[in-house]
Amino acid sequence: MQSSIGQANSPSIFSCLCDVATGKFAPYINEQEALAVAYPCDSNRRNVITCKDKELDKFINEVNGLGFDIELSSHIMSLPRYIPVIDRNFKNLDILSNNTPIIGITLVDLLKKDFKKNINIPYSDPKSIFRPIKINSSEVKFILFLTGEDRLIETLWHSRELIDFFSYIKKWKYLAVTGFNFSLIKGECAFSQALNLKKSLYSSYLLENNGMVTIPHVYSMTQHQLVRWIEWFSKNKRINYFVINCQLQSDEESIQLVIENVAKILTELPYIHVILQGFYFNKINKLIGYLNRIHFADKLPIKLAQSHYKITENLKRIYCKDLSVEELTLTNIDARRNYIENLFENKNVVKA
C-alpha cells in the first residue's frame, strides 16, 4: 500500500524489476519511485508506455526529454472562486452572461459523437472531430479544460499534428486552455508516470507556443514528483495558476492525496492559485486554510438543472418542477458560489 503522497510502505515484488530502480532515468526520475510499482512493467502498450517499451527513445524525444526544462510565461488576472462548467447539452449561454463572467468547457464536450464512437478511424480533418460551438459572446470568457477519457486524450495527442489541433482550437479565442490531463495510475510503472507528467507540461508548452494562454495541469503521486513541480514553478514565476482534475478522485485516499498536494504547493509558493476541477464540495472543509487561493470548477449545477433538481443553500438536492431549466441553472450556480463565499467568510480565512 501507499502512505501520504505516494510513499510505499511495503514495496511489491515488481518494484526491483522496474528499470527506474536501476537509476537508468536519473536525475529525472528518482530510483525510489520504483518502490510504488505494484504491477509488471510489461510493454504491451495497451494503456501506458512503460520502461520496457522497445521504442522508449521515440516517446522520450517526442516531449524533448524527461526533464522539466520548459519555460512558460502565461499569466492570468484574477479568476472567480467558482467557475461553472457547461456541457454539450447546454444551449442558452445568454442567461449566464450577467452574473457568470468566466465559464468552463471540457474537451469531451467539443467532440462529435461519431468521433467518440469510431475513435480508431484515422482522422485528418478537425471539422470531422470537433462540433461547432458558439463562444464569441463579448460578455463571457471561456476556459477550456483539456480533460476527458484517456482513450480520447491519447488519440487527440497522437493526432495533434495531423489535424493541426493547437491552431484549430486557437481560433476559438479562449481566455485560457489547460494542459492535457494525462493519467497517473497508482502502482503502474514509475517511468510511465514521469512520461505523462512531462507530456502534460509539454502540452502547455505547445499551447503557449501557438499563442494561447495556458494553465498547467499538475498531479503527483510521490513526494519526488511533487518536489519537481514545486521546483519548476519556482523557476517560472509568471505562472500564477495551475489546475488539478479531481473528477476521478472518488476514494478517500485519492482525495487526501489531492489535498496534500494542494497544501504543499500553496504553502511553498504563496503567490500561486489552483483550480480544482470536479472536487467534492463536502471535502472543502479540509482546505479551509487555503481557500483564498483555491478556485472550484464543475458541471454539477447545470447537470442537475437539466434533471430538474435544485441545489439548496446547504448543498442538498431537491426535485423541482416549478422552475425552468434556465432558472434552475442560475439558482444552482448561485448556491455553489454562495456556499464557497460563506465558508470563506465564516472561517476567517486570511484573504489574498
- pLDDT at site 219: 92
- pLDDT at site 3: 35
Across the range 145-153, mean pLDDT stands at 89
pLDDT in tens, 310-350: 999 889 999 999 999 999 999 999 999 999 988 877 754 43
At 30, the pLDDT band (50, 70, 90 cuts) reads very high
Q: Report the range of poorest mean pLDDT among 117-121, 145-149, 166-170, 306-310.
A: 117-121
- pLDDT at position 137 over 80: no
- pLDDT at site 151: 85
> For the chain, what percent of residues have pLDDT higher than 70?
91
- pLDDT at position 229 over 60: yes
Instruction: Out of 1-5, 38-42, 123-127, give the one with best mean pLDDT.
Output: 38-42
What does the DSSP 8-state code read for residue 321?
S
Q: What is the pTM of this model?
A: 0.92
- pLDDT at site 76: 96
What does the DSSP 8-state code read for residue 323?
S
- pLDDT at position 307 over 50: yes
pLDDT in tens, 65-106: 999 999 999 999 999 999 999 988 887 777 887 788 899 999
Q: What are phi and psi of 20, to 5 degrees?
A: -60, -35
Across the range 116-129, mean pLDDT stands at 75
Dihedral over Cα of 89, 91, 92, 97: its sign? positive
d(CA 78, CA 84): 16
For 42, 53, 151, 180, 342, the CA distances from 58, given in Å and listed in that order, are: 17, 10, 20, 20, 51
- pLDDT at position 205 over 80: yes
Q: Where are the alpha helices (DSSP H) in the chain?
A: 56-62, 113-117, 150-158, 165-170, 190-209, 223-235, 252-268, 300-306, 325-346
Q: Which residues of 122-159 are buried (b: 16+ CB within 10 A; e: fewer)?
A: ebeebeebbeeeebeeeebebbbbbbbeeebbbbbbeb
